[in-house]
Amino acid sequence: MKVDRNARTWCEISLPALRNNLRTLRRCLPPKNKILAVVKDDAYGHGLIPVGRTLAQAGCEEFGVACVSEGVQLRKAGIRQPILLLGSTLPFELKTALEHQLTVTLSSLTEAQELLRASLRSRRTARVQAKLETGMNRLGATPAEFTQLLFFIAQHPSLDLVGTFTHLACADSSPAFTQRQLARSSRLPKSLPHHWSNTAAVLQSLSLSSTHARPGLGLYGYSPLGRPTPHLQPVLSWKSRILLVRTVTRGQSISYGATFRAPRNMRVATVATGYAHGLPRSLSSCGHALVQGRLCPILGRVTMDMTILDVSRVPHPRREQEVVWIGRSGSLTRTAADLAREAGTIPWEILTRIHPSLPRLLP
């Protein structure tokens, strides 16, 4: 799909880069490891359906989503691989989960009992994975509860235990904490599929004794380890257009609150992107975008649907001209990691906060 000439701000999704990243991550794994691709939250803002279909066609064995509605979307898009609901599934969602053969995560006896009742009512066998708490304290059964949970599942044939897993909280930052979690994960039954490796763990070869890896961010081209991984390619570019170019004279203020005053005469461009589109307001007077291969600072506060750039160094800036927030312009490239560093956040947030209504185009 070509870029819509009428688009004011849009994203471009590179499916070849996505396939490359899947191959790159596979090379970090033991040959028999399967990949459970994390495509939750609209595939980290990249578009659930095109990403899911592409990964399925490229041989991805399983998928992980945040909730039932995402699993249903994948099923309706023709995805037949197992789909794991990574979050807790509420009672009113269980009937739909069972109808679409989604795998339910169980972290407690309460959840298991709810699912058993739903399974018996619908006369459908429920696929389940049991989650062990090893240090994240978000979801997962404590070690004592985990043993009870496995026993409860084993007592009821309508609950089909297809795997177990845990989640590493500090794989990108604390080797010692991660090793303690891995030691606790020895409680995961080795007779069943079991997994714990996010992208950070995959890149550090911490998947050796698991059956599956569970990468997320790496699929979309980023390493969480604080250093670039040469063979990972960012999948998403985010672009916009200039609405207006004007001259601001020395001493004039720019944007809300008059927080920025021009230190000299400047050429400035008003761009059709703001915090309503997902651009963090914390980029006010400290973020950058690319125009004609030049790095252009944000001036003043990011507003709801417009942001002002210093284009003094851009030759002949004009209305409708392309602005690159993430992606390549000339010889320069900006990434979600660059925006995250300037905004004081993380690449995950930058990617997932891009508004879902913006077109995701496949150039």
Which residue numbers are catalytic?
40, 256
Q: How far apart are CA 40 and CA 47, in angstroms?
A: 10
* DSSP of 67-110: SHHHHHHHHHTT--S-EEE-SPPPGGGHHHHHHTTPEEEE-SHH
Phi/psi region, residue 102 (left: phi>0; alpha: psi -120 to 50; beta: rest), is beta
- At 93, phi and psi to the nearest 5? -95, -10
Burial string for 193-220 (b: 16+ CB within 10 Å, else e) reads: bbbbbbbbbbbeebbeebbbbbbbbbbb
- State the Rg of the chain over Cα: 23
Other residues' Cβ atoms within 10 Å of the Cβ of residue 338: 17
Distance between CA 215 and CA 112 in Å, rounded? 26
What is the biggest distance separating any 2 CA atoms in the chain, rounded to whole angstroms? 77
From CA 317, how far away is CA 311, in angstroms rounded? 7
The burial class, CB within 10 Å (0-12 / 13-18 / 19+), for 16 is exposed
Q: Alpha carbon 176 to chain centroid distance? A: 26
**Measured distance CA(307)–CA(43) in Å, rounded:** 27
Angstrom distance (rounded) from CA 279 to CA 291: 17
Q: Cβ(179)–Cβ(170) under 8 Å? A: no
